[in-house]
Every structure is written in C-alpha cells, then in structure tokens.
Chain A
C-alpha cells in the first residue's frame, strides 16, 4: 500500500504544472523574507513623465532636490536627483546606502521613500519623497514664526519618537549603527505639523571589521565631543548628542554650538559642558586625540546658559542629553519618559 503522503503529492504536482502553463505567474515566486519586505506600499518605479518639475528647492548631500507635481494624483512631491557624477563607477555607493536604509524604515516621523524614478535617456535616478513645506532651521530663522512652548514640546517629542524607532530598528541594530545626520536643516516639517527626520545621505552602516567613519558623519555643530577626540566606537549616543543640540536650538532659535572648525567646536563644547575630568567623562584621556588638545578648565554651565528660556523640566532634560560621557547620555526611550513630556503645557497632537 502506498503511504498516504504520496497520494497527496501526486495530484498537487500535476495541478501546479497546469497552473504554470496557463497563468503567467511563476511557479516559484522570488522569496522575500517578511521582515525585509517593505511594509509600505512601495509602488516601485514609474516614469519621469508622470512628474511635472516645478522648481529647485535645495542642494542635498549628493544631489539636487526638486519640487514636482505628481500628474496622476496632483500631489506635491520632492524629487531628489542622484548625481551620476562619477558615472564610470555606476550608481554611487552612498546612493545605494541611502536607498537600502530608507526602504526599510517606516515611521511617521521619518521621511518615507515613496518610489524611485529612473530616467532612461539621461540615466538619472530620482528618489521621490513627500513634499515637506519647511525645515526646522528655516522655521527658526524666520522672524515671523515664533514657536510656542507647546509647539516646541510637540516637535521635540516627534523627533525623539523618530530617533527611538531608528535606534531599535533591525537595520540600525544589525549594522551596528546607522548614524543619520541630525541637524536642524534635516528635520522637515509639513503644514500639518508633522516633523520628519530626512536626509540619510550621510548615513553609514558600519561593520565590526570596518569601523572607519570619515569625519563628516554628523554636521560639525551637532557632533559629540568623543568624535572630536577620535573615538572609534560608535553607538546611538552619538545621535543623542545631536538631539540635545537641536533641543537647545529650539529654545535659543539658533545653533547652540556653532564652532567654525573642529578645535573651536571642541572648545565651545567644553565651555558649555565643563572641561572633561575622570568623573564626568571616564576614559577620556585614553582617546587618541586627547593629548593633542589643550583644554581650558572650566565649570559646567548648561543650566545657567538656558535658565532664562524654559521651565525646570526642560533644562533638566537638556542637562541630561548634553553629557560628555556617552554612556551616561540619555537614550531616546529614556528621554521620552522624562517629566518634561508629562508636565504642563502637555504636548499636543501635531495637527492642532
């Protein structure tokens, strides 16, 4: 007697063959694991003629950004052109890096990649993002716009939520670090009040054996002290320093640490946060560049500097973010638990 399982397999095999004859669908579908499958509706590629170019809105890290109208839906989109400047080598490495990262991230506070458009004749590749009306830097520089305390709180909460998502995402964890470029100009805000972290053009995935960051990882003003001292270990606390700088910037309406070169930047950091000692930054003297940099001894004055801007909770949160020791800097999830977000005025829904 034939075992039962053979009776099962025989007819189904036949059926499958028939299927593949009649339908155009393949017998074996390309296997894409669930966690890597892009969860959003990534419509893939469409024609460049579907978009009507309006005007150039900016120069990204490796390409121009154009405002464009989607002719099919009439929505505004931002198209980021990938410059094929080094055309001999094909697609640039950092473009591939950005696409790879963006395709896997899906969060309401992180810019989403809608699709990728390829123009065949000129061989241009465009990344299509939703059009965002403002960026944070522009908003703060605009004298007509005054951010209320509630708005500040709401925006900062969104920034932290995006950062928290990023730090817990498998892309981030698996590759050790995807350090996005935290800077006020990279935080985009639309007219509905939603803040999105944009521009992963400088993001790097780092492997254990190839821990070589170029020094342009984070825009200088938002770079933590350990990077200037030549630290080679990169953790999510690098991003948290940048988040802290942006938080201070939200109060002051201008960059809090505008150094004009690396040495000056470090000097400004130590002026604000006090000079590094064994207590506030353990092992700092074992970092490679610590011997070459002369440090002026000074006290920590984060609280004093920001006294006049905001309430006690806000200053306390800032004080815990701008910490010299990366191990003691608050993580994004810890910062979200801070009293600041649970005291009056409470953060509102972004749409309000």
Chain B
C-alpha cells in the first residue's frame, strides 16, 4: 500500500470500523441521521474514487495526496463528517470534530491540549477537506435511502403477514 499500489476490488462488506466511527462520533456530536448517512456515502464514494482512478506510481516512492488521505483512515472519516455537517447545514466547530475524533481513537488517552499537534490536525483537516470535495467531484448533495425505506415499510405494512399487532389483523 505504501508505494502507491491500490486495493482494486471493493470488499463486499464495507470497512466497518470506519462506519462505526462515523456512527459513534455522530451521536457524540448530536448530529441528525441525515448527516451521518451523508458522511458514510462520502466515505464510500471516496473509496470508489480511489479504486477507479488510474494508478500513478511515483519513481521516488512518494505517494500523492489522495493516496495519503486514503491510507489515513482517521483523517478521512473525520473529514467526511466535517463535510457532511456543512453540506447538511448542521454546522459544528472544527475544534469539536477534532476533539471527538481524537477521543474516539484514543479512548484512554488524555484530553487533547491546544498545542502544536492540535493545530497540525486542524490544518490537515482543512487540507483534506479540499481533497475530498474534489474527489467527490463537488457532488455534495446525495440521495439518502430513507425515503425509499419508508415506501418499502408502508408496502410491508399493507401485507397482513407483517402486521404484528393482533388487534389489527382481523
């Protein structure tokens, strides 16, 4: 991975640890489900983008910025979350996002001080946000499955077999 070779086949089961992170931090930040779902879609699309792109292997062994972001899952997920917050109009401070992300990945660590490493994290978050929006082709509005789910559930509700409430079955 480090020298720019890419994972070509997309696994059937997605990267659960990243999804879990997005869900957990969303509840910590008190985000609506819309925002969480958008962040997850961004995450998948970024991975699909990496998979679909032409391979570039640099002679000196260095990797380009997109691959660097791809390899850094903590940064990628936090960036997805930040962008989703903005795109769904639930603004959260970068400071909060960094803190929550840090807390999730270092559950037993000390609280994050405002020192140089914090500012470095913050700067890399801003930089990777620009990378992410470009990888997504600036397609920030995503269609979420909830509307379809509702329709399916309504359909199921009309079938007698699925009605659990016995009083309504007759």
Contacts and interface: CB of A to CB of B under 8 A. Distances in A.
A binds B: yes
Interface of A: 20, 24-30, 32-33, 35-36, 38, 42, 44-45, 87-91, 93, 96-97, 99-100, 103-104, 116, 118, 123, 125, 171, 205, 207, 210
Given A93-B91, A116-B134, 15 more contacts: A20-B8, A27-B10, A29-B48, A36-B143, A45-B134, A45-B138, A88-B94, A88-B122, A91-B130, A91-B133, A96-B140, A104-B141, A116-B138, A125-B130, A205-B89
B142 A36 contact: yes
A27 B9 contact: yes
A100 B94 CA distance: 21
Contact of B48 (A24, A26, A42): A26
Interface stretch (B50-58, B103-111, B152-160): B50-58
B49 interface: yes
B159 to A, nearest CB: 25
Contacts of A26: 8, 10, 48, 51-52
Determine chain B's interface SS by DSSP, over half rule: helix
Nearest to B51: A26
A42 B136 CA distance: 13
A118 B127 CA distance: 12
B86 A28 contact: no
B75 interface: no
Contacts of A35: 143
Interface residues of B, number: 34
Contact of B44 (A27, A30, A116): A30
B44 A118 contact: no
Contacts, number: 85
A233 B142 CA distance: 26
Contacts of A30: 44-45, 48-49, 52
A33 B143 contact: yes
B121 to A, nearest CB: 12
B129 A118 contact: no
Contact of B139 (A20, A38, A97): A38
Contacts of B8: 20, 26
B26 interface: no
A96 B137 contact: no
**What are the nearest 5 A-B pairs in CB distance?**
A30-B48, A26-B51, A90-B126, A33-B143, A90-B129
A42 to B, nearest CB: 7
Contact of B87 (A45, A100, A118): A100
Contacts of B80: none
B148 to A, nearest CB: 10
B36 interface: no
Given A26-B52, A30-B48, A207 B130 contact: no
Contacts of B76: none
B69 interface: no
A96 B85 CA distance: 11
Given A29-B48, A90-B82, A207-B89, A24 B55 contact: yes
A90 B85 CA distance: 12
A347 B91 CA distance: 46
